[in-house]
């Protein structure tokens, strides 16, 4: 049976690919999408999520808008990477399904509580504000969630600061709440996602599909590549967020290491750092609920993504 997942996101070029992977792979059932201010403002990323689902023919997937800003801090956006719209470089169709009226946080709680315990996996790919508020409003969801597989953090080098990744640094208080709950967490951070580079060869495979969706994905990746070349050291863009969805589909695609992780909140230079304690031998699962992803089977990952885009393109 496919795994029920909820993607909490801030599209974002790589969030868009994560949505397409979830729509196009039969191993997961995307029961809903929630949005959070992050890569761009809440209204922009919410529109982008709806437009991507429209382009993929996934008009049955509900979208609910959530928190526009972090719990405590002033929000920041990543316009230098994702553009003023949050998804610059691509012409997406106008969404036809109305935006869900319920706030994302209350919808998340209701969706989890309405299903069998341990049947829903949360896949946050943006700041963790919505997830943190949900667990504070309804702590009973912790025992009902199957696992949390999030894109965020870094064991070693950050991108928003020398040691902090963008999603975590944007709302470190929310991340602190989420990481200190008892649910199983897999942190798919920069150590792993920087291996998932959309090279020219990968894009050629997508372009060869010849569908309207594949052309849109290539347009997205062309903009994303140029943004990274202009602002970062990467010649090809790392597609961070679909890595989290890929882990849910097939955990064997990654090598993980179990270890305690906590969030730095007060460091003058290190706020938002995901502090992974790797000093001791790897603990057992019943002694430590958190693991970090370190190595990716790159070929298997791209086979999965390319196939999902083909499947979604055929239905759109």
DSSP one-letter code for 282: P
Measured from the Cβ of residue 54, the count of other Cβ atoms closer than 10 Å reads 18
C-alpha angle 314-315-316 in degrees, rounded to nearest 5: 100
Rg (CA), the chain: 18
Contact at 8 Å (CB) between 239 and 198? yes
DSSP one-letter code for 128: S
Distances in whole angstroms, Cα of residue 299 to Cα of each of 8, 117, 158: 26, 34, 25
Distances in whole angstroms, Cα of residue 153 to Cα of each of 78, 172, 212: 16, 10, 34
**Sign of the torsion formed by the C-alpha atoms of 236, 35, 33 and 252:** positive
187 phi, psi to nearest 5 deg? -90, 110
Catalytic residue, chosen from 64, 82, 176, 240, is: 240
- Would you state the structure tokens that stand for residue 301, as one six-digit string? 């990952």
Is residue 240 flagged as an active site residue?
yes
Distances in whole angstroms, Cα of residue 50 to Cα of each of 71, 228, 296: 25, 25, 29
Q: Do the strands 28-35 and 274-276 form a parallel or antiparallel pair, or are they unpaired?
A: unpaired
Q: Catalytic residue positions? A: 240
């Amino acid at each position: 049976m496919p795994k029920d997942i909820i993607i909490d996101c801030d599209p974002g070029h790589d969030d868009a690919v994560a949505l397409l992977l979830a729509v196009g792979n039969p191993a997961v059932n995307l029961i809903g999408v929630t949005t959070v201010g992050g890569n761009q403002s809440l209204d922009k990323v919410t529109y982008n999520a709806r437009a991507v689902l429209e382009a993929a023919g996934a008009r049955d997937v509900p979208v609910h808008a959530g928190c526009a800003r972090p719990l405590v801090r002033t929000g920041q956006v990543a316009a230098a990477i994702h553009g003023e719209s949050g998804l610059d470089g691509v012409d997406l169709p106008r969404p036809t399904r109305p935006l869900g009226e319920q706030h994302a946080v209350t919808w998340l709680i209701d969706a989890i509580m309405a299903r069998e315990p341990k049947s829903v996996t949360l896949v946050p790919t943006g700041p963790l504000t919505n997830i943190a508020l949900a667990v504070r409003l309804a702590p009973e969801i912790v025992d009902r969630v199957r696992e949390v597989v999030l894109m965020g953090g870094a064991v070693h080098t950050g991108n928003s600061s020398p040691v902090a990744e963008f999603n975590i640094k944007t709302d470190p208080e929310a991340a602190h709440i989420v990481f200190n709950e008892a649910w199983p967490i897999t942190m798919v951070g920069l150590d792993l996602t920087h291996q998932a580079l959309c090279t020219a060869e990968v894009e050629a495979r997508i372009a060869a599909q010849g569908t309207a969706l594949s052309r849109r994905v290539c347009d997205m990746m062309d903009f994303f590549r140029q943004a990274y070349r202009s602002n970062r050291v990467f010649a090809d863009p790392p597609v961070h967020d679909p890595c989290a969805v890929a882990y849910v589909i097939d955990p064997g695609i990654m090598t993980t290491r179990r270890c305690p992780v906590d969030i730095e909140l007060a460091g003058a230079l290190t706020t938002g750092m995901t502090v992974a304690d790797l000093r001791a031998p790897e603990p057992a699962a019943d002694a430590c609920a958190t693991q970090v992803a370190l190595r990716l089977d790159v070929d298997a990952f791209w086979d999965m993504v390319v196939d999902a885009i083909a499947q979604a393109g055929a239905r759109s």
